[in-house]
Copies of this chain bind each other. A is one copy, B any other.
């Protein structure tokens, strides 16, 4: 006969598959002699055998084994199931081998009947409590086990309160509750077609049946499919004796952490309530007391709890979050789990545990969630401060900032450069606004998603941004925005928190980033373990310096278009684009050459000793010109007012040129290496600027490792052609300047076709850097600027996608292309250097993918570098034994 039922005492932590996660945990606590209320577990095997029969049927022997289990509990507690005087009551919970939502909710107080409820009332000398337990039990059992719509019971409760003229549930008397129980039983009868069961075993078997059935409900099935959890696991059922913290002055309930979850300090931290149930703590009607007070009030209980807490922490080697109940002077542990904690606490606890000799350095690395580290990298609003949040947008770039509101990039720049703290508020930003973003303390937009221009640029700069904040209505012309009933004018002060998306009127108190010694320690340990290099995306020397401070091993992406966008340079760029003659064009290029040379000199010098990947010009040329719409409006105005015919005809001419460059789908247009192919002089100028800077630095004795990256290659001949241009400039420069230097030429892999013909492309490439932003766009056919504002939210909500693929790399689809490209590339060139420079380079899950796929490095924004260092170490540890 298969053993379908285990007592807690018979199991242990390793029996997860058979007993479920919750059951194995309870068994483990029992095994190490913690005061856990006794219980039994119906195995996952019973659940699977249940499904052997079409529609489900208890396997042979299960019912009898459950009855034996209850007998065991009766003996342990010296009570009787369904007893009229002192009834044994139990809770019933599902518990699968892996945690998953969608499974059956808990049923408490099972075993109560019209008879046993009186026994409970007498025993607890609290009639109201007993009947309240009973009505809750009927409600939970009806809802959870019998699928009676929950609102039926809620409506009946509301009606009764109405009839009795009371507001709170707690105002209902025992008699009221007895009335309510009659109502509830009627509802039960109506929906189920029979009376509420008065046999406790019948209640119990129905509850077990309901848990089994919940394994195959729609929600659970969808969750398993989406999370790739096998349908063949089944769920266990935990049946545990109920204990009560509201049985008088020597009873109570509480929650405590073994260490402080905010700071990591090694001291019990928590609170409790005397003569109360868990839900009373949550309801907030009475104020709980700090756990320390227990020491004075009930020293024995405190000592016992303290002992148990240490035992648990030692056992699990981690900070524990423990729920306990004291029933008539006896301590029971109801649950323990790894406690949630702040990033600061996570780091301190991990480092302390290593120092205490309890865990290894490598275990410590697995205890800190890299995504959390972002919290530590930025100023943030003091969570203790009383502030009023007037609107919430997308948390687009972490960090908090306070400043005066301005509505144009020009004003942000002018006043920001004068030392004022300003927040740039725009409907959305465009590359024209870069100079304003540079000088503002932060940016707030009412449109655009997590990868909108403002968001991407702000993250790159490590500058706070709240984007897509639809709650604010901007009237840029009047220089104000409306939020709720408030009108915020230019120069009014606001605070934004890009980690939460919050917008606050006025000044909010801040906490500065804490780079404690422990933080550094953890990252040093990470560096010992990781095999992936971590580089930073940085366009300016100041970003490069920042990146070095955060531990970057190089620059993985230096975009040159931001340099083109700076207000002092834009006119020269426009001149070059609009030049009517080859001479005019050459003249503009010559001016740009010397400017770019200084750019590259600065960044290469800042990263002395480290590689710097410089991407040649990428965006379509029209991005540097005025917008068609703006010109059209001005032209129409001038046409009608007839005020300035000369200006009109200039603008019309300009419009013609702008229109000739305009595109239907700029993302898929004349950009990247396509510019290099059609305007080789631009790439040649950039290459010349780089190698001029390199030559100067070499002469100054500075170590430089330039890597020239050709963007948007999809056809091997593109790279062949453009590589040749770069190589020729480099070799000529060496000769002319009489210096020697090393350099690499490679490409950004950001098109599906590039992945498909990666073997042929690799013949001309020293390195591949995956541009996963664009690769996501083309693989999915999603324009990120449009998708995030239009249909992606609906896709996430409807679970068509589990995550935004611009935030977390799509391993299922795009991952195949990347893996193929790496394999093909290395097949012709086994020393091909492979990295990623899309935003995914700073996402821990995506970094794990890069590690598994054999990348050499990841590159991300400077403020993400610590995250990536830790994530890279974890990727190594987690995949080591696979």
Chain A residues with CB under 8 Å of chain B are: 628-629, 632-633, 636-637, 640-641, 663-670, 674, 677-678, 712, 714-715, 717-718, 721, 750-753, 756-757, 774, 777-783, 785-787, 790-791, 794-795, 798-801, 810, 812-814, 816-817
List of B residues within 8 angstroms of A637 by Cβ: 636, 640
A696 to B786, CA, bound (A): 41
A677 in contact with B791 (CB, 8 Å): yes
B791 in contact with A674 (CB, 8 Å): yes
List of B residues within 8 angstroms of A717 by Cβ: 798-801
Q: With A636-B636, A799-B717 in contact, is A669–B778 under 8 Å at CB?
A: no
B794 in contact with A779 (CB, 8 Å): no
Q: Which among B629, B633, B667, B800 is the interface contact of A664 at CB below 8 angstroms?
A: B667
A372 to B666, CA, bound (A): 36
A800 in contact with B751 (CB, 8 Å): no
A665 in contact with B715 (CB, 8 Å): no
A668 in contact with B668 (CB, 8 Å): yes
Given contacts A665-B667, A756-B813, A757-B813, 5 further A-B contacts (CB under 8 A): A663-B790, A669-B790, A712-B781, A753-B781, A756-B816
Chain B residue at minimal CB-CB distance from A629:
B632
Q: Which among B665, B714, B791, B812 is the interface contact of A780 at CB below 8 angstroms?
A: B714
Minimum CB–CB distance from A57 to chain B (whole Å) comes to 30
B753 in contact with A668 (CB, 8 Å): no
A714 in contact with B781 (CB, 8 Å): yes
B665 in contact with A786 (CB, 8 Å): yes
29 A-B residue contacts at CB 8 Å? A629-B629, A629-B632, A636-B640, A640-B640, A663-B786, A664-B786, A665-B783, A665-B785, A666-B783, A667-B781, A668-B777, A677-B794, A678-B794, A712-B781, A714-B780, A715-B780, A715-B795, A715-B801, A717-B799, A718-B800, A721-B800, A752-B781, A752-B813, A752-B817, A753-B780, A753-B781, A753-B813, A756-B817, A778-B778
Minimum CB–CB distance from A821 to chain B (whole Å) comes to 12
A665 to B665, CA, bound (A): 4
Minimum CB–CB distance from A718 to chain B (whole Å) comes to 6
List of B residues within 8 angstroms of A636 by Cβ: 632-633, 636-637, 640
Chain B residue at minimal CB-CB distance from A636:
B636
List of B residues within 8 angstroms of A751 by Cβ: 779-781
Q: With A641-B640, A778-B752, A790-B669 in contact, is A663–B633 under 8 Å at CB?
A: no
Minimum CB–CB distance from A457 to chain B (whole Å) comes to 16
Q: With A677-B795, A783-B664 in contact, is A813–B714 under 8 Å at CB?
A: yes
A813 to B629, CA, bound (A): 38
Minimum CB–CB distance from A478 to chain B (whole Å) comes to 15
3 closest cross-chain pairs (CB), A and B: A665-B783, A668-B783, A752-B752
A668 in contact with B669 (CB, 8 Å): no
Chain B residue at minimal CB-CB distance from A794:
B678
A723 to B750, CA, bound (A): 32
Q: Which among B667, B712, B756, B779 is the interface contact of A753 at CB below 8 angstroms?
A: B779
List of B residues within 8 angstroms of A801 by Cβ: 715, 717
Minimum CB–CB distance from A206 to chain B (whole Å) comes to 33
A633 to B666, CA, bound (A): 23
List of B residues within 8 angstroms of A783 by Cβ: 663-669
Minimum CB–CB distance from A447 to chain B (whole Å) comes to 9
A273 to B417, CA, bound (A): 86
A795 to B783, CA, bound (A): 25
A781 to B752, CA, bound (A): 8
List of B residues within 8 angstroms of A715 by Cβ: 780, 795, 800-801
